[in-house]
Amino acid sequence: MQFNFYTMSRKILVVTGGGDCPGLNAVIRGIVKSAASDGDWEVFGCIESFNGLLKDEIEIVPLTERSVAGIHVQGGTSIKTTNHGGPFQFPVRQSDGSWKVEDRSQLLKKRLEDLGIECVVNIGGDGSQRISLALSDLGVPIVGVPKTIDNDLSSTDFTFGFQTAVQIATEAVDKLVTTAASHNRVFILEVMGRDAGWIALHAAIAGGAEVCIIPEIPYDPQKIVDRINQRYAQNAGFCNIVIAEGAKGLDGKVTGSAPTAVGDPNIKLGGVGDKLKLQLQALGVEHDIRVTVLGHLQRGGIPVAYDRVLATAFGAHAFELVKNRKYRRMVAYNKTEIVDVPLEDAVKSANNVNPETSSLVRAAKNIGIAFGD
Ligand code: F6P
């Protein structure tokens, strides 16, 4: 498809980066509709994160009111994404079949200038916003929008996608409760969240689990056994455990495997639920134990209404930043208001559950949820 980039209209390039997340399409639609109602704008989508401008052949698509109609309801991202590589670490296949990562940030900058793109809107998590900051340092006009089911960005009260993941995890707990009760079993549900325990904590409270294990509170397996025994002694006959994939034992080690994709900086977390099962059995738990790993189901499907609203408002605010040439900022949610913060602040630290001060941890403990501490 041929585009005419020499029109007078102002041009925005939208990028979705990192793992997909329910609500990405609602942000895209929010930007496009805001631009369309403002006036002479053209919005383009870069295919597969920045790769659409990093590969030998440019791959970007026009985003029009017509092409984004109704997409706020759809999960995933209509312009695709990737969670490895990027402008500073672009994977290139060598003639001997091996891979090398290459810095293509200058190529990206040149292509943006050649195309007359006025500003990039980069929708992504912490890794993506670090890329936003580094591109801004190179002089690329850029605005960030925070996304992740993990809710682990510190400058925003919530990221979109999180509530949908919590809803899916909670429905999983609800379902496991009925089968656990029917069979007098112990069920372990492993949920996502990387180094943050937000999904586990919310799902455990909402679903009524007896045990919640999060990365921020290293667990002692014996304490979990004690809670299971107490639960069975109450004649309840079953027990539900929610464990975050990034949970650590007292040795502080996470469970997972090395990344396989070139340019992927993250260890692939997974398997801590099975590990816990073996630990419980080794400590004498004789009840039937079953493990469910919820995995990518938490990232798929339609966003809940909350995430659609938040994502749409984020998109509309991102457009305002672009319109007013307020670059190097990330959109954020702060005490019910949509605001923006400097990108530097957005990537400074992560948002983790604070076991000492979290009112949710306190509430959970008050109602009998054990954390293994
Ligand atoms: O960051 C979002 C997330 O879904 C994490 O919760 C999870 O650990 C990771 O991405 C999974 O990544 P991948 O899609 O590469 O398996």
Nearest CA to ligand 1 atom 12: 19
Confidence of residue 102 (pLDDT cuts 50, 70, 90): very high
pLDDT for 274? 98
Q: Is-contact 103 50, C-beta < 8 A?
A: no
In angstroms, the Cα distances linking 365 to 187, 204, 206, 217 are 20, 11, 14, 13
Instruction: Please tell me the distance between residue 121's alpha carbon and the centre of ligand 1 in angstroms.
Output: 22
Instruction: Please tell me the distance between residue 19's alpha carbon and the centre of ligand 1 in angstroms.
Output: 6
What is d(CA 99, CA 82) in angstroms, rounded to the nearest whole number?
Answer: 17
Instruction: Please tell me the distance between residue 194's alpha carbon and the centre of ligand 1 in angstroms.
Output: 7
Is residue 149 within 6 Å of ligand 1 at its C-beta? Answer: yes
Pairing state between β 256-257 and 268-269? antiparallel
Pairing state between β 41-46 and 337-342? unpaired
| Cβ neighbours of 296 (radius 10 Å) | 11
Instruction: Please tell me the distance between residue 257's alpha carbon and the centre of ligand 1 in angstroms.
Output: 13
Is residue 193 within 6 Å of ligand 1 at its C-beta? Answer: yes
Is residue 83 within 6 Å of ligand 1 at its C-beta? Answer: yes
| Cβ neighbours of 208 (radius 10 Å) | 15
Q: What is the mean pLDDT of the chain?
A: 96
Is residue 150 within 6 Å of ligand 1 at its C-beta? Answer: yes
Angle between helices 359-366 and 198-207 (to 10 degrees): 30
pLDDT for 235? 84
Q: Mapping DSSP to helix (H, G, I), strand (E, B) and coil, where does residue 370 land?
A: strand
What is d(CA 348, CA 205) in angstroms, rounded to the nearest whole number?
Answer: 29
pLDDT digits (tens, 9 = 90+) for 125-163: 999 999 999 999 999 999 999 999 999 999 999 999 999
Percent of the chain, pLDDT > 90? 95
Q: What tokens does 252 get?
A: 């502080």
pLDDT for 3? 61
Average pLDDT in the 286-299 region?
98
Is residue 19 within 6 Å of ligand 1 at its C-beta? Answer: yes
- Model confidence at 65: pLDDT above 90: yes
pLDDT for 2? 55
Confidence of residue 190 (pLDDT cuts 50, 70, 90): very high
Task: Match 């609800």 to its residue by tokens.
Answer: 174
Percent of the chain, pLDDT > 70? 98
Q: pTM higher than 0.85, yes or no?
A: yes
What positions carry a catalytic annotation?
150
